[in-house]
Structure 1
Amino acid sequence: MLEWFCSRIDPKDLQKATATTVQLTNSSASTSMQDVRGGNRKRSKSRSSSIEKVLKLLPEQKCDIAQAQIEEIREALVNLQSDSEKILSNHKAVMEEAEMRSCELKKSEYEFERDIIKGAVNPRSGKIISEKIVRHFEDKMKSRDGLIEKLRLKNSTLKVQLRKLRLQLKQKEEMGEVLHEVDFHQLKIENSQYLEKIDERNQELLQLKMVAGNTMQILSLHKKKLQTLMKEAESLAAEIDSRNELLKKIISESSIVQKEKEKANIVNQRLTEQLSNYRVPETLDYVNEKARLYELRKSVQSWKRKVEIAEMALGGLKRNWQQLKAGLATDVAVKQHSKPLSGSVQVL
C-alpha cells in the first residue's frame, strides 16, 4: 500500500511528507539524547529504537494513506462504472441498430419478393420487367433520403437541447446552485433519516394491515351472522304473513259460523216452538192414513203395469207400421218398372 501510495503521489507532496518525518525523527532523537544525559547508559538500545522509530510510520500517516487509497479505489470504481455503463449503452445501441437493420432487411426482402419477384413478372414472356425494378429502387432511395433528413433534423434539435442544458448548468455553477460534496453528505443524512421514517411508517402500516385483517375477519363473521339473521327474519316475516292470512280466514270463518249459529238458533227456537205446540194425532187417523198409503202404492204398481203393457203394444204397432211402409215402397217401385214394359208390348 505504501509503494502504491508513493508511486501515485506527487514529488512535491513526497518532499513535504519526508520533511515532516525528518522533523518527527529529530524530535524523537532529541528526546533520546535527553534520556542519555539523564543517566540512561544503554546507547545501543537507544540507537536501535531511534532507527526503528525512523523506519516506522505514525498511525495518522497510515490512516491518511489508507484513506487516500480508499478514495482512489472509489474514484476508480466510479470511473469503471461510468465506463462500463457507456460500453453497455454502446452495445445496447449496436444491438438495437442490428435489430432495426435485420427488421429493415426482412421488410425490404419481403417487399422485393412481393413487388419484383412475384408482381413484376411479365405474364407473356415470364421475365421480370426492368422498369418496375428501377422504380422500386428509386422509391427505396427516396424513403432513405427522407429518413436521413428526419434523423438530421432530430440530431440538430438534440444538439440545440444539449447546448441549452450546458448553458443552464454553467449558469447554475456560476450562481452557486450546483450541489457540492457537503450537500451530498447532507442529502445522504436526510435520506437515511427519511428511510428510518419510512421503515417506521412501514411497521405502522404492517400493524394497521394486521388490525385491518382482524377487523375484516370480524366483519365477515358479523356479515355471515347478519345474513343468517336476515334469512331468519325473512322466514319469520313469511310465517307471520301466513299466520295473519290464517287469522283473517279464521276471523271470517268465525263470523260466518256466528251468523250460521244465529240462524241455527232461530231455527232451533222455531222448532222448539213447533215442538211445544205439536199434538200427537189419534190412532184411527194413523190407521186410515196407512191404509190410504197402501192403496196408493197398489194403484201406482197397477198403473206401472198398464204403462208397460201400453209400451209393448206401442212397440208392436211401430213394427207393423214399419213393415207396412216397406211393403208400400216395394209396390210403388214395381209399378214404376211395369209401366214402360206395358207400352212396349202395345207397340209390338
Structure 2
Amino acid sequence: MAETDAESVRTESQGGDILCLAEFNVEQLLELTQNVSNELSALKAETEMFDKFYKRLDPKDVSPVAVSEVGASALDFNQMRSRRRSKSRSTISERLLGLNINQKLELVQRELEDSKAEARREAEHADRILQGFQATMEEAEIRSSEIKKARYELERDIGKGRKGEGVTAEKILRYMEEKLRARDSLVDKLRLKNAALKVQKKKLQMQLKQKEEMGEVLEEVDFQQLKIENAQCLERIDKRNHDLLQLKLTAGETLQVLNSYKKKLQDTTAESTNLTKEISARNEMLQRIEQEAQQVEQERAKAESVNKRLRKQLGDYRVPEVLDYIHEKMQQEELERNIRAWERKVEIAELSLKTQRRSRKQLKAANEM
C-alpha cells in the first residue's frame, strides 16, 4: 500500500499565535467553530446597525472617524496527498479599519434612542389609528341604533297595513312633520349648547390670559393633583361606560323579550279576531236555526190543528147505507154523462162559431173587393 502523510493545518490567531488544528480533538474543534460563528453573528449585527446609523446621517454631518487597526486572518486550506510528505501552507493577513469601544458605545446608544423614539412614534400612530377605528365603530353603532329606533317608531306610529292594503299618505306626512319638528328642536338645543360652550371657552381663555399676565404658574404639586383628579375622572368614566354597556345589553335583551311578547300578542290578537268572527258566524247560524225552529213549530201547530180536525171529522164520519151509496153513485155517473154531453155540445158550437167567423171574413173580403 502507498504510504499516506497526515496533513497539518495551521492558522494565525488574533494575537499572532500559531495554532495547530491537528492538536485539537473533535469537541474542541466544534467549540471553536461555534465561537467563530457567534463572533461572525455579532459582527454581522454590528455591521447592520452601523449601516442603519450611517444611512440616517446627512452627508454634511459625516466626518472622518479615528480608527484603530485590528488584525484579521483568513484561513486557506489546501490538502494534497504526495508520497514525499510535502506540506503547503498559505496565510493571508488583511488589515481592516474599525471603531473603538467608546465610538461603538456611542453609536449603540444613539441607535437605541432612535429605535425607542421610532417605537414611540409608531405606538402613538397606532393609538391614533385605533382611536379613529374605535370612534368609527362607536359612530356606526350609534347610527345603527338610531336607524333601528327610527324604524321601530315608524312601524309603531304608521303601522303595517294589512295584506293588500297600503299605508295612507296622511300618516306618512304627519310622521315626517313630527320628525322634522323634533330634528329642528334638537338642532336648536345643540346650537344653544354650542353657544354656551363657546362662551365658557372664552371665559377660560380670558382666565388663562389673566393668569399668564399676572405671572401665575402651576407648581409640580398642582400638576400631580390634576393628574390624580384626571385619573379619578377617567376611572369614573370607565365605570360609567361599563354601566352604560350593561344597560345597553339589558335594553337589548328587554327589547328582544318585548318583541317576542309583541309577536305573541299579535298572534293572540289574530286568533281572537278569528274566534270573534267565528262566534259571530255561529250566532247568525243560531239565529237562523231559531227562526227555522219557530217556523217548524208554527207549521207543526198548523199540521196538528189540521190533524185534529181531520181526526174529528174521521170520528164524526158515518158510513152510509148501500142503497144510498148506489143511488149517489148512479147520480154521479148521470152527472158525468151530462157533463160529457155538454162538453161535446160546446165543442160543436165552437166549431160552428169558427166556421161562421171564417165565412163572415170571406164575405167581408168579397164585399171589399
TM-score when normalising by structure 1? 0.42
- More relative contact order, 1 or 2 (CA 8 Å, 6+ apart): 2
TM-score when normalising by structure 2? 0.39
More strand by share: 2
More helix by share: 1
